[in-house]
Amino acid sequence: GAVVSQHPSWVICKSGTSVKIECRSLDFQATTMFWYRQFPKQSLMLMATSNEGSKATYEQGVEKDKFLINHASLTLSTLTVTSAHPEDSSFYICSASISTGALNSPLHFGNGTRLTVT
């Protein structure tokens, strides 16, 4: 159980276009989802916290107008990279915790999306 599906697993887009990444909790409800970014050989850096039915909370230095997050239901959060540039190329990972889970519940991660902007 506790499966998080992330789509697409990889995407190549041209500079200036927008890309949408979906994160779905398949068998549980997630009031909160998290979006991380990982550069090669580096750790996961939190970009934003996505809350169902409300605005996302962005970490310092993350442009909210560039990385649009929508969490319209308890099982789906989307990250849209708008007007993508080559420096946005990275690995993006979403994660979620069960809404009614215990306090020590781990985050469940999607398989990640490798974005390449040409």
Partner 1 sequence: AQTVTQSQPEMSVQEAETVTLSCTYDTSESDYYLFWYKQPPSRQMILVIRQEAYKQQNATENRFSVNFQKAAKSFSLKISDSQLGDAAMYFCAYRSGGNAGNMLTFGGGTRLMVKP
Question: Applying CB under 8 A, which residues contact partner 1?
Answer: 31-32, 34, 38, 42-46, 49, 51, 91, 93, 95, 97-107, 109, 111-112
- Judge residue 114's burial from the number of C-beta atoms within 10 Å of its C-beta, 0-12 exposed, 13-18 middle, 19 or more buried: middle
User: 75 and 24 in contact (C-beta within 8 Å)?
Assistant: yes
In the bound complex, what is the minimum distance in angstroms from residue 46's beta carbon to partner 1? Answer: 6
Phi, psi (5° rounding) for residue 60? -60, 130
In the bound complex, what is the minimum distance in angstroms from residue 109's beta carbon to partner 1? Answer: 4
Whichever of 49 and 116 has its CB closer to partner 1, that residue is: 49
